[in-house]
Structure 1
Amino acid sequence: MAQLIVTGHANFSSGLLSSVKLITGLDEKFTAVDFLESMGAEALNQELQAKIQETNDDVLIFTDLPGGTPFNQSVLIKTTLTDRTIEVVSGTNLPMLVEASMMDQQPIGVLLTSLINTGQDNVMYYQQKSTQKVTASDDGI
């Protein structure tokens, strides 16, 4: 089982986790670490490390943007805390978190692979196909 942490700019993490709870009824499997405007990178790093230290489990950190402060600080933690497996995923979306809430008992490698596929598979562009205009006929049918 992995500890699941969601972090991102502003209320990205707490907002997504409120949606996860609405959809699945589950949110206790996750920890939200919002990166608020009043925080600096060091404060975010300290908060993430504090959450990681609450358990001895492997850790999967979900972040919003690659290269953003939440991602960068998560990667920094991954490279400095070597006493357990810490994985960092960027580009987090709601389908990934819904699936993670259902699969949290899986080994972190299996979970990670499945979540990346889910995240990618659920990015779509809706394009309406042309339709024929329906008109009323004389007989009312």
Structure 2
Amino acid sequence: MEEKIILLTHGDWGKALKSSVEMILGKADFVSAVALTPEMLLAEFRQAVEAAILAEVKKAQEKHVLLHITLMTDVFGGTPTNVAAVIAKEREDCAISVITGLNCPLLIEACTQISFGGELDIKKVLASCQSSIFDVMEKITGK
């Protein structure tokens, strides 16, 4: 099974996040990003997401491998998440998961799993990343 991650975000934050993660981990060719820009209509954004998915499906078909795509979105209830959920329910040519709450530790954990293990365990990614948000000063001072 081939794993791909597509970041769906408001603005170019997904592209910038991918670049930052690659600074830490190295190249992550299995990650791409689709930005929702202010001038885009809902239908245009959905079309851009569908095109990104279709490109990955075609590559997997050429290699004769099964494909799992994880759509990572920035905000629950936002357009990227809503579009991702609708597409994930409708598509039948590949397995699609949707995770929201995108942040750097989440993407690092997912990329690490794919790079070193070949597959993505979403439950482990979520469990690992839920502990990545905390008050730093409280943690280091105990106050």
TM-score (norm 2): 0.82
Report the AA paired with residue 8 of structure 1.
T
Report the AA paired with residue 96 of structure 1.
L
> Percent of aligned positions with the same letter in both sequences?
25
Q: Which has the larger radius of gyration?
A: 1
CA change 1:130–1:65 in 2 (3 A) is: closer
> How many Å separate the matches in 2 of 1:118 and 1:11?
26
Residue 129 of structure 2: aligned partner: 119
Among candidates 58, 70, 82, match of residue 60 of structure 1: 70
- How many pairs were matched up? 128
Greater fraction helix: 2
Residue 141 of structure 2: aligned partner: 129
* Gap runs ≥5 in structure 1: 132-141
Q: CA RMSD in A?
A: 1.7
- 1:25 paired with 2:47, answer no
Among candidates 102, 106, 117, match of residue 96 of structure 1: 106
Report the AA paired with residue 134 of structure 2.
M
> How many Å separate the matches in 2 of 1:79 and 1:130?
45
Q: Partner of 1:76: helix, strand, or coil?
A: helix
CA change 1:129–1:7 in 2 (3 A) is: same
Q: Partner of 2:94: helix, strand, or coil?
A: coil
Query: Residues 63 and 88 of structure 1 are in contact (CA less than 8 Å); yes or no, is this contact kept in structure 2?
Result: yes
* Gap runs ≥5 in structure 2: 58-66
TM-score (norm 1): 0.83
> How many Å separate the matches in 2 of 1:67 and 1:130?
35
Residue 15 of structure 2: aligned partner: 14
Shift of 1:130: 7.3
Runs of 4 or more, structure 1, over 4 Å off, are none
> How many Å separate the matches in 1 of 2:128 and 2:45?
27
> How many Å separate the matches in 2 of 1:112 and 1:71?
17
CA change 1:53–1:130 in 2 (3 A) is: closer
Paired residues for 1:30-109 under 5 Å = 30-56=31-57, 57-104=67-114, 105-106=118-119, 108=120
